[in-house]
Structure 1
Amino acid sequence: MDITVKEQLLAWAEEDYRKFSAALIPNINNVLGVRLPYLRKLAKTIAKGDWRQFLENAESEYFEEVMLQGMVIGYIQADIEEVLPYIADFVPKMDNWSVCDSFCIGLKITKTNKDTVWNFLQPYLASDKEYEIRFGVVMLLDFYIDEDYIHRLLRLLDQTDRSSYYVKMAVAWAISICYVKLPEITQAYLASSSLDDFTYNKALQKITESYRVDPETKTRIRAMKRKR
């Protein structure tokens, strides 16, 4: 008899890894403790088969079941117009930074459909829901920090609802990557942004933590910190 996806995940679960993972992801209590390489291997296998049936019937009882669905969506080979509804169905299932960020980096289909996905992301960036906004912001930092999009991207980061912690952190992260890749444009943005003090200072901190920023620049960035 074929083993079910849930049975396979339960068989892979490790108690020590469960404790380790759960400690990194606050506010959830449904972690099994399955290592990511196992999930990726299973997701690739599902994506080569009847992935539509899997996604339509997938269960979301455990953290790893949700993570697996996101990985499968990232691996499927299909037209962007077919994939986008599956992305839209998945976004509401995200309730932690780990699933969100893993899902985003896996959506490599974005690279060949940038304008289409950019338009798709706009409602999420205008949302008032924490993980919908974080999804939009992390997608921007993963795929859109380049000269074609940078000015529009920075305007969006400035306009997002930053009332929640995981959005603030994502925006700060995105700005730090913008600075590393396009420092002059991002420097000008920082001088005139409407960022709240926490997000602004966190962005500066992340810039100074980058190994791609030279010591002299880090000193200048530290001097830009807002005093509370």
Structure 2
Amino acid sequence: MTYSEIIDALYDLKDEEKVIFKEKKFGIKSNNSLGIYHKDLKGIAKNIGQDNKLALQLFDSGIYEGRILCSKIFNPKDITEPLMEKWVKSFENWEICDSFSMGLFSKSRFATTKILEWTERAPEFEKRAGFTIIASYCMADKTSDNELFEHFFPILKREANDDRLYVKKAVNWALRNIGKRNIDLNKKAIQVANDILKYDSKSAKWIAKNALTELQKEGIRMSDYPRALYRPPLHTK
């Protein structure tokens, strides 16, 4: 598909009622939105395939859905820090923040660098991006040992008092996903949640209680990463 064909396809799906619905139902406030559901954008992205040049053109179109498409067709291996900084500063809601953070940033070689940087940022969705990368990186990185993920616990504890909706939800998400990586990190995440539970703020108590409900659930599913340690191959005679 050419750039013009993609733009035409987006405008063919334009639905102003969906713009209103997404804001009321999901809190997705977006500028220059055509009102296209994420699942439909995934279908378009699948037809395009990876194409960095088109991705950059779509982002620069200024069309909200064009920017989400950018996050889906840009090759994570080719991302640069200047591009990441340009994109993160444009985030205006959780949907586009998570699309970039999960689909691109967590799979890039700068993932851990941006976790450390962005979780200290003041803007709500720049900070959320840092925690969303943590949540996704737990699944994207299948080989790192527990020590790497334990380094994120002090960050979660430091920011647990941030009462902004999309920050506290991301802190909670990151804590839960670390705790579902393997049984040892589960135990440590539960301990961290109990530490956060002692904080006075409402946001911290919500983060901790919600995380404990899931992390202590009977039959919780673990990823068992790294598999070499937590799910070693069976040896047969």
TM-score by length of 1: 0.72
Letter aligned with residue 135 of structure 2: L
Mark the CA change 1:119 to 1:22 in structure 2 (over 3 Å): closer, same or farther.
Answer: same
The answer as to whether partners of 2:76 and 2:107 remain within 8 angstroms in 1 is no
Identity %: 20
Mark the CA change 1:147 to 1:40 in structure 2 (over 3 Å): closer, same or farther.
Answer: same
SS at match of 1:95: coil
The answer as to whether partners of 1:126 and 1:133 remain within 8 angstroms in 2 is yes
Once the two structures are TM-superposed, the CA of residue 4 in structure 1 deviates from its matched residue by: 4.4
> What per-residue deviation string (whole Å, max 9, x for no partner) do you get for residues 23-63 of structure 1?
212443543222323322433455544x2364056445432
- Over aligned residue pairs, what C-alpha RMSD do you find? 3.2
For 1:40 and 1:16, the matched residues in 2 are separated by 20
* Structure 1: runs of 5 or more not aligned: 216-228
For 1:8 and 1:198, the matched residues in 2 are separated by 45
> What per-residue deviation string (whole Å, max 9, x for no partner) do you get for residues 170-223 of structure 1?
1122223334443310222233347553233222443366497129xxxxxxxx
Hey, what does 1:36 align to over in structure 2? 38
Alignment coverage as a number of residue pairs:
206
Letter aligned with residue 194 of structure 2: A
Letter aligned with residue 93 of structure 1: S
2:120 corresponds to 1:126:
yes
Mark the CA change 1:40 to 1:158 in structure 2 (over 3 Å): closer, same or farther.
Answer: same
Once the two structures are TM-superposed, the CA of residue 10 in structure 1 deviates from its matched residue by: 1.1
After TM superposition, the structure 1 stretch with the greater mean CA deviation from structure 2, 56-65 or 8-17, is 56-65
> What per-residue deviation string (whole Å, max 9, x for no partner) do you get for residues 45-90 of structure 1?
55544x23640564454321221222223xx2644xx444332221
Hey, what does 2:210 align to over in structure 1? 206
Letter aligned with residue 191 of structure 1: N
Hey, what does 1:224 align to over in structure 2? none
2:10 corresponds to 1:13:
no
Hey, what does 2:72 align to over in structure 1? 71
TM-score by length of 2: 0.70
For 2:54 and 2:100, the matched residues in 1 are separated by 19
The answer as to whether partners of 2:58 and 2:67 remain within 8 angstroms in 1 is no
* Structure 2: runs of 5 or more not aligned: 140-144, 220-237
